[in-house]
Amino acid sequence: MSAEPINSPMDCQQWVELLDGRRTLLRPICALDKAAILAFFDRLSAETRFLRFHHVKTRLAPDEVDQYCCVDYHNTFGLVAEMWRGGHNDIVAVGRYSRLPCYDSAEVAFVVEDNEQGKGIGTHLLKILSMLAKERGIKTFVAELLSDNVIMLDIFRKHDPDLKQEVDGSSHHVILSAQPSKARPAFSVHSRKNRSR
């Protein structure tokens, strides 16, 4: 029995269990997340920022924050991973795709806060983004990685063992299937007020 397509961004919220047993809420990014995204960026190490942006980056400009948080949920889609820490919800990861001019391909990227890396968040983000992309006519993801970003490259390889790579010095141009490799898990809707810890 096939799953119903995801039409509303609110239908894309899902609690997932991490490798350390904790849970995080994956949900669509929105304009209300601007302050939380700035706080998230400030918690990233210089190395993580370099691996994500490919240059030394000390701040996010206002237009960059707008680009992150204001998406159309079709040609551009962003997801955040949110966790309850220290008495409040923190964004600990961001994943997004942006459709390319060839229409059935999209650039994909994600970044996870240093303290939460290696716990499966990136894998969950890629899996759900691939489901959303498929329903929006996207067949292929492309990504530009630095050769030092072995964690992200490993996540991409697990998602699509047949991915293609083009190496140019310290950069990797990666092409992988946007099709989810496993059946979709059940999605559940949770209001912003009722998110569990």
- Sign of the Cα pseudo-torsion (48, 54, 58, 60, in order): negative
Confirm whether 27 is domain-assigned: yes
Tens-digit pLDDT profile for the chain (197 aa)?
333 344 447 678 999 999 999 999 999 999 999 999 999 999 999 999 999 988 888 899 999 999 999 999 999 999 999 999 988 899 999 999 999 998 899 999 999 999 999 999 999 999 999 999 999 999 999 999 988 899 999 999 999 999 999 988 888 899 999 986 654 443 433 333 334 33
Strand partners, 98: 76, 107
Cα 2 to Cα 71, 114, 183, distances in angstroms: 28, 37, 9
Confirm whether 2 is domain-assigned: no
CATH number at residue 122: 3.40.630.30
Confirm whether 72 is domain-assigned: yes
Q: Give the pLDDT of residue 24.
A: 96
Cα 72 to Cα 8, 32, 80, distances in angstroms: 11, 14, 15
**Residue ranges making up the domain that contains 114:** 9-194
Instruction: Report CA Rg, the chain.
Output: 16
Residue 6 DSSP code: P
Q: Give the pLDDT of residue 10.
A: 67
Confirm whether 1 is domain-assigned: no
Confirm whether 4 is domain-assigned: no
Confirm whether 123 is domain-assigned: yes
Asked if 106 contacts 142 with a C-beta cutoff of 8 angstroms, the reply is yes
Confirm whether 190 is domain-assigned: yes
Q: Give the pLDDT of residue 7.
A: 46
Domain total for the chain?
1
